[in-house]
């Protein structure tokens, strides 16, 4: 009963993680955030692997999921520090795009309540095709939206890590019990226990004349 409960809970958590990673992947693609895109891709693969291992009773796959979950939590903590500019990090750098583009988070211009305007400078000496984007009226700043996404990922990952460890321990106990029972059956089949029979001398019976 405990195995079924823990296993079903882990399946549910993996499904939530898969949906959350897919949702995040879509918006990171829209913002050309190549570093998060790579991380989300690995997250989707490992979560599918953990989901398969949970359904098919494969503890080794769940171990891979558990190890990756620890790395995934670390990555999301780094993203939170990046957008909150902790430890000398700056959200204005091109770190999330591997320094190959100047794109920022998609939520920067498309957050809740944001009004996006393309403004062309009228000062002389500037290129005609030069313009910049003015964003006003945002209910929540984009960095806090990114922090919320990472916090959700961390919460799901921590709960999934706990249940994954629990399911692995249950699977291992069941394997040990099956091996123990199978070992006794094999031994009893191949080498049946020999009964010790005490032999007593028998006196010969003489013929009667």
Total domains in the chain come to: 1
pLDDT per position as a tens digit, 35-74: 999 999 999 999 999 999 999 989 999 999 999 999 999 9
pLDDT per position as a tens digit, 135-151: 888 899 999 999 999 99
**HEC secondary structure over 99-168:** CCCCCCCCHHHHCCCCEEEEECCCCCCCCCCCCEEEEECCCCCHHHHHHHHHHHHHHHHHHHHHHHHHHH
**Residue 20 forms part of a structural domain:** yes
**Residue 207 forms part of a structural domain:** no
State pTM to two decimals. Answer: 0.76
Query: What's the gap between Cα 141 and its chain centre?
Result: 27
Q: Tell me the helix, strand and coil percentages in the chain, rounded to 5.
A: 65, 5, 30
Structural domain boundaries, residue 165: 1-86+106-119+133-188
Which residue has 């079924």 as its token pair? 4
**Residue 209 forms part of a structural domain:** no
Quote the percentage of the chain above a pLDDT of 70: 76
In this model, does residue 32 exceed pLDDT 60?
A: yes
In this model, does residue 184 exceed pLDDT 60?
A: no
CA distance linking residue 107 with residue 144, whole number of Å: 10
**Residue 201 forms part of a structural domain:** no
**Residue 39 forms part of a structural domain:** yes
**Residue 54 forms part of a structural domain:** yes
* pLDDT at res. 13: 95
CA distance linking residue 55 with residue 14, whole number of Å: 11
Nearest to 79 by CA among 47, 23, 33, 111: 33
Max distance between CA atoms of the chain, in angstroms, equals 149
**Residue 74 forms part of a structural domain:** yes
Q: Say if residues 18 and 55 touch (Cβ distance below 8 Å).
A: no
């Amino acid at each position: 009963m405990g195995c079924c409960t823990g296993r079903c809970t882990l399946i549910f958590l993996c499904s939530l993680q898969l949906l959350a990673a897919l949702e995040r992947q879509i918006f990171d693609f829209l913002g050309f955030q190549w570093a998060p895109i790579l991380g989300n891709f690995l997250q989707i693969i490992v979560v599918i692997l953990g989901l398969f291992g949970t359904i098919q009773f494969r503890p080794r796959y769940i171990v891979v999921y558990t190890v990756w979950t620890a790395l995934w939590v670390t990555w999301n903590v780094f993203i939170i520090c990046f957008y909150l500019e902790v430890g000398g990090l700056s959200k204005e750098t091109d770190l999330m795009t591997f320094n190959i583009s100047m794109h920022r988070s998609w939520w920067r211009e498309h957050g809740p309540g944001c009004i996006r305007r393309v403004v062309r400078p009228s000062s002389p000496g500037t290129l005609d095709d030069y313009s910049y984007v003015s964003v006003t009226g945002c209910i929540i700043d984009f960095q806090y939206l990114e922090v919320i996404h990472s916090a959700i990922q961390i919460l799901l990952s921590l709960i999934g890590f706990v249940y994954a460890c629990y399911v692995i321990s249950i699977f291992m106990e069941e394997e040990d019990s099956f091996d123990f029972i199978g070992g006794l059956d094999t031994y009893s089949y191949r080498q049946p226990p020999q009964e010790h029979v005490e032999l007593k001398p028998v006196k010969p019976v003489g013929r009667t004349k």
